[in-house]
Structure 1
């Protein structure tokens, strides 16, 4: 495991990603520094969605990861690594039917239990450092107006120790990211695609204009785009903002 991570605990903050980024600017933080908040006031999901969390019951944290030689054109490796780390931890806790909903949600069955928000800071054609934000629903069991949200506790009926869970996740993220820089997305994609939510199942999608269309998730490109098979066996790539899976 090497040295222990520096863990900064806050009672409340707007966003652990923003706090960690600001702190890292003001002092040179060590690799794998972590900011964890009991309550996140303005947790951001992908593209401005807000993450609702009950104070003290869930894990909302961000990890700083520094790189020496991580090519920007391979940056989707980080998404894969973080997703695989969470998949490993959750399956080790016997959470059923864990899947990754492209690009950054973790599902158990058809409910969302975790969101990931990775922000990469580039220097030229390299990723200099990244902030990995994770919101995991743990012991919260009431979700107002969120019919598709669930938590570990809702699923298993157990109460979890947040510190223990945090350390498990940090350890697994370290496992995947410590020797990541020499790898390529292509090498890691098969394992990721294997756990992709609704892969090869008839699904309905919504495009950026709100139009609905049918298709199948077939694969993910090395730049992290989603490849859908549409009518007449046409394969088409979609970027993050271009498509939403309805489920």
Structure 2
């Protein structure tokens, strides 16, 4: 795989997107930075990471036939790829928080931002931006974050970990290329945080309500069973978990 290492950059996603725009890059080209000055997360949030301590990287994924109507499967595949690697390192109490954060207990250990290039209702390629907390020991108390070193009690090689993750992303993308959508979704739901458990959610107005996660659609929206036992569909712009 082609890995481009940078000392510092505003955003690895933005850098790789511009690189691909200028010249077609080989599949799974990965840009990794020791420091990101403008790392981005879901819904325009910022991803803060201590320089030289964590993995902040973006990987280009060229796709053959993924329809935009199945866009959620990219999120399923990438989050599961990282989830598996963290399991191999014996990180405890792992769950995937909808849509694709990775938690240990109720603390975030990894964030993912996926940006797609679309043509004629198909996703031509995607850039998966990943921030994984590895060797950072202290976090702002407001972040509810953790890292691998908290559990392993020793530093982890960033280079070896990066290689493992990108290889596993390749493996999970095969689910998509072979159209094994049902198997991929089953694995995702099996490891989804708070699935089938009454949970507090917050809407755009700050209103707190209870719901039970019953499903995630092919487009990535979430299906909740509400207190009156009705089912309602929400997207990421409409609601968030009130806690965790």
* TM bucket normalised to smaller: over 0.9
Partner of 2:219: 223
From 121, 128, 134, the counterpart of 1:132 = 128
Q: How does 1:15-34 map to 2 (within 5 A)?
A: 15-34=11-30
2:60 matches 1:64: yes
Judge conservation of contact 1:215–1:228 (CA < 8 Å) in 2.
Answer: yes
Deviations along 1:144-168, one digit per CA (max 9) or x if unpaired, are 2434101011233121000000000
Q: Distance in 2 between matches of 1:90 and 1:17?
A: 22
How far is the alpha carbon of 1:179 from its aligned partner?
5.1
Q: Which runs of 5+ in 1 are unaligned?
A: none
Q: Distance in 1 between matches of 2:44 and 2:130?
A: 15
2:224 matches 1:241: no
Partner of 2:119: 123
Q: Which runs of 5+ in 2 are unaligned?
A: none
Partner of 1:208: 204
2:101 matches 1:91: no
With over 3 angstroms needed to count, the CA separation of the structure-2 counterparts of 1:11 and 1:221, relative to structure 1, is same
Q: Distance in 2 between matches of 1:183 and 1:97?
A: 30
Partner of 2:193: 197
Q: Distance in 1 between matches of 2:240 and 2:88?
A: 29
Count of aligned pairs between the two proteins: 243
Judge conservation of contact 2:71–2:218 (CA < 8 Å) in 1.
Answer: no
Judge conservation of contact 2:39–2:46 (CA < 8 Å) in 1.
Answer: yes
TM-score by length of 2: 0.96
How far is the alpha carbon of 1:201 from its aligned partner?
1.6
SS at match of 2:176: coil
Q: Distance in 2 between matches of 1:240 and 1:50?
A: 16
* CA RMSD after TM alignment: 1.2
From 38, 50, 75, the counterpart of 1:42 = 38
Q: Distance in 2 between matches of 1:78 and 1:145?
A: 31
TM-score by length of 1: 0.95
From 95, 98, 101, the counterpart of 2:97 = 101
How far is the alpha carbon of 1:184 from its aligned partner?
5.3
